[in-house]
């Protein structure tokens, strides 16, 4: 296992025109730990996650990965594309809609980055891609195109695509939200394995069970603000903030029958 | 009375003339693909001036009848000192008209791809160039095949217009044939059969390509 990254988020602000999507967000993500971001839709948790690998550009504040500022050379001065790509190489990302490339097989999807970004030879890339696919339990589906895979299998290929690059940090943007309920478990299990190996993970999720059992810390966001960060028990069982209490009440009501 | 022998006799001269139909539409689409790709790049560019240039190009070429454009090109070229045979004016007109439609077909195919396709490439640190070549374009081209075949079929039919500047393609040859035999019905029916045969072949080619490139 490669070394795990830490992330320091300091006073981050993000605007879409007049709308402020992130308001002075502060969050420390310790190395080798799982941080879950929860909160209502539109609270800014996906935006914050996407700022960590600079898929979204934050407007002010700092996000540092292992001490290195991402996206900017200095406040207000953008980083070169080459430097940004170098930083992104060690940050894996998994999307809600999987975003697999439909014209490539599962193996092709995983090997592509190894060839184009890491510069491996095709044969070597495919060997490593096959290992990554085996790790997520898809050794027998390597030759399938995404359209021939279930949602859960597609998301596992997407995870394999990310881990094959040997990242030190993994970002998950609602990885199970697009899945049928019976397929959620297989994806969460792969994520639990990664967590157990000591990967630094930031997970935007509505899976409170995952947050409760796998996360080391849980951050609650609402209206672009980070309302609270605590242990899973602290946030999910003994929340002090009235906004967190309200969110959890709604969550429990929706999930009781 | 319909004369079967006159009808059949018309096929030989018309098939000879079909070479020009295929030349005009084939070269027209080939050059149209190249110019269309360039116009598409302008249309998707960050530069406002480039986008305006592309919009003007597309609006003019889509908004003016091809016959009128053909006549404009045919009579404009000598005025600006370029003396070329009618066939060149025909190919140039066909190519630029095709480029307008093709650039729109490609722009549509590229913008129809989910944003997440490129994001997944960016997120693993892929260079923009690789993301275009490996991720975006293969999907956009595959998506655009049915529309490109459609455009090619339209061009084969539109190539009948170049008969007015004297290119001896199927339509003009059938007019000549009708003049010689005094049997217009047989001549034009033979022309219709030839056009249909060509376009059925193109449609079959399109289905084969679609099948091959299906994602």
Q: What is the pLDDT of residues A60-75, one digit of tens each?
A: 999 999 999 999 998 8
DSSP letter for A152, please. Answer: H
Is B123 in contact with A116 (Cβ distance < 8 A)?
Answer: no
Fold for B4-212, please state it. MetI-like fold (1.10.3720)
Is B124 in contact with A147 (Cβ distance < 8 A)?
Answer: no
Find residue A72's DSSP bridge partners: A78
Cβ atoms of A142 and A133 closer than 8 Å: yes
- In this predicted structure, the answer to whether residue A153 has a pLDDT above a threshold of 90 is yes
Q: Give percent above pLDDT 90 in chain A.
A: 94
- In this predicted structure, the answer to whether residue A76 has a pLDDT above a threshold of 90 is no
Q: At what angle do helices A122-135 and A151-163 cross, to 10 degrees?
A: 130
Say if A108 is an interface residue toward chain B (CB within 8 Å). no
For the stretch A80-86, contacts whose Cβ atoms lie closer than 8 Å and that sit 24 or more positions apart, written own/partner, are A81/B127, A81/B128, A84/A54, A85/A117, A85/B125, A85/B126, A85/B127, A86/B125
Which residue in A has a C-alpha nearest to residue B116's C-alpha? A99
Give B-chain residues touching A162 at CB under 8 angstroms. Answer: 124
By residue count, chain A amounts to 257
How many alpha carbons lie under 13 Å from residue A182 in its C-beta half-sphere? 1
Nearest to B135 among A97, A101, A147 (CB): A101
Question: Can you tell me the distance from the alpha carbon of B215 to that of A63, in angstroms, rounded to the nearest whole number?
Answer: 38
Say if A141 is an interface residue toward chain B (CB within 8 Å). no
Give B-chain residues touching A99 at CB under 8 angstroms. Answer: 114, 116-117, 119-120
Strands A91-94 and A169-173: parallel
Question: Can you tell me the distance from the alpha carbon of A234 to that of A220, in angstroms, rounded to the nearest whole number?
Answer: 11
Question: Can you tell me the distance from the alpha carbon of B96 to that of B31, in angstroms, rounded to the nearest whole number?
Answer: 8
Cβ atoms of B136 and B113 closer than 8 Å: yes
Average pLDDT, integer, range A172-179: 96
Q: Give percent above pLDDT 70 in chain A.
A: 99
Give A-chain residues touching B128 at CB under 8 angstroms. Answer: 81
Say if A254 is an interface residue toward chain B (CB within 8 Å). no
DSSP letter for A225, please. Answer: E
Cβ atoms of B181 and B4 closer than 8 Å: no
Q: Which of residues 192-251 of A touch B (CB under 8 A)?
A: none
Q: How confident is the model at residue A254 (pLDDT cuts 50, 70, 90)?
A: confident
Segments of chain B with pLDDT less than 70: 214-215
The two structure tokens encoding residue A166: 């040997």
Say if A86 is an interface residue toward chain B (CB within 8 Å). yes
Is A147 in contact with B139 (Cβ distance < 8 A)?
Answer: no
Is A161 in contact with B124 (Cβ distance < 8 A)?
Answer: yes
DSSP per-residue letters across B135-156: IIHHHHHHHHHHHHHHHHHHHH
Is A53 in contact with B124 (Cβ distance < 8 A)?
Answer: no
Give A-chain residues touching B123 at CB under 8 angstroms. Answer: 53, 55, 88, 91-93
Say if B134 is an interface residue toward chain A (CB within 8 Å). yes
Evaluate whether the domain defined by A1-90+171-176+201-256 bears CATH number 3.90.870.10: no
The pLDDT of residue A2: 56
Question: Can you tell me the distance from the alpha carbon of B142 to that of B211, in angstroms, rounded to the nearest whole number?
Answer: 10
Q: Which of A190, A205, A52 is closest to A134 using CA atoms?
A: A190
Which ipTM value was assigned to this complex?
A: 0.92
Average pLDDT, integer, range A151-164: 97
Q: At what angle do helices B48-63 and B86-112 cross, to 10 degrees?
A: 120
Say if A161 is an interface residue toward chain B (CB within 8 Å). yes
The pLDDT of residue B51: 96
By residue count, chain B amounts to 215
Strands A225-230 and A34-38: unpaired
The pLDDT of residue A81: 95
**Burial A224-237, CB ≥16 within 10 A → b, else e:** bbbbbbbebeebbe
The dihedral region occupied by B88, where left means phi > 0, alpha psi between -120 and 50, and beta the remainder, is alpha
pTM of the model: 0.87
Strands A77-78 and A19-29: unpaired
Question: Can you tell me the distance from the alpha carbon of A200 to that of B7, in angstroms, rounded to the nearest whole number?
Answer: 79
Is B119 in contact with A88 (Cβ distance < 8 A)?
Answer: no
The pLDDT of residue A257: 67
The overall average pLDDT reported for chain A is 95
Burial label, B70 (beta-carbon count in 10 A; 0-12, 13-18, 19+): buried
In a mutational test of the B interface, the residue from A52, A102, A109, A147 whose CB has the highest number of chain B CBs within 10 Å is A102
DSSP per-residue letters across B79-105: HTT----HHHHHHHHHHHHHHHHHHHH
The pLDDT of residue B23: 95
């Amino acid at each position: 296992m490669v070394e795990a990254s830490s992330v320091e988020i300091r006073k981050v602000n993000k605007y879409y025109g007049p709308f402020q999507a992130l308001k002075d967000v502060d969050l420390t993500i310790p190395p080798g730990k799982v941080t879950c971001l929860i909160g209502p839709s539109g609270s800014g948790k996906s935006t914050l996650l996407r700022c960590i690998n600079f898929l979204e550009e934050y407007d002010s504040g700092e996000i540092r990965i292992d001490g290195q500022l991402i996206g900017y050379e200095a406040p207000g001065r953008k980083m070169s594309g080459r430097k940004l790509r170098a930083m992104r190489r060690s940050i894996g990302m998994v999307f809600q809609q999987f975003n697999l490339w439909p014209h490539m097989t599962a193996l092709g999807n995983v090997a592509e980055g190894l060839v184009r970004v890491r510069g491996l030879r095709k044969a070597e890339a495919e060997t490593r891609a096959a290992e990554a696919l085996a790790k997520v339990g898809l050794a027998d589906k390597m030759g399938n195109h995404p359209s021939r895979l279930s949602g859960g299998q597609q998301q596992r290929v997407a995870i394999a695509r990310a881990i094959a690059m040997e990242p030190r940090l993994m970002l998950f943007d609602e990885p199970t939200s697009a899945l049928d309920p019976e397929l959620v478990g297989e994806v969460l299990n792969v994520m639990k394995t990664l967590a157990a190996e000591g990967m630094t993970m930031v997970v935007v999720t509505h899976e409170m069970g995952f947050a409760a059992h796998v996360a080391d810390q849980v951050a609650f966001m609402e209206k672009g603000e980070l309302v609270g960060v605590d242990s899973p028990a602290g946030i999910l069982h003994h929340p002090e903030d009235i906004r967190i209490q309200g969110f959890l009440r709604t969550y429990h009501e929706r999930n009781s029958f | 009375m319909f004369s079967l022998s006159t009808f059949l006799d018309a096929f030989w001269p018309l098939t000879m003339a079909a070479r020009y139909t295929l030349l005009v539409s084939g070269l027209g689409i080939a050059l149209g693909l190249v110019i269309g790709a360039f116009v598409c790049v302008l249309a998707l560019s960050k530069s406002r001036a480039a986008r305006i240039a592309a919009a003007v190009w597309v609006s003019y070429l889509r908004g003016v009848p091809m016959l009128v454009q053909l006549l404009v090109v045919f009579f404009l070229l000598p005025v600006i000192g370029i003396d070329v045979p009618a066939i060149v004016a025909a190919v140039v007109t066909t190519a630029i008209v095709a480029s307008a439609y093709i650039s729109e077909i490609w722009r549509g195919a590229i913008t129809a791809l989910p944003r997440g396709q490129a994001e997944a490439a960016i997120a693993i640190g892929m260079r923009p160039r690789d993301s275009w070549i490996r991720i975006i374009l293969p999907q956009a081209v595959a998506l655009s095949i049915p529309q490109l075949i459609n455009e090619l079929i339209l061009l084969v039919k539109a190539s009948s217009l170049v008969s007015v500047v004297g290119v001896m393609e199927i339509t003009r040859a059938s007019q000549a044939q009708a003049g010689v035999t005094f049997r217009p019905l047989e001549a034009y029916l033979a022309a219709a059969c030839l056009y249909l045969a060509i376009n059925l072949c193109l449609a079959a080619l399109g289905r084969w390509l679609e099948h091959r490139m299906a994602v």
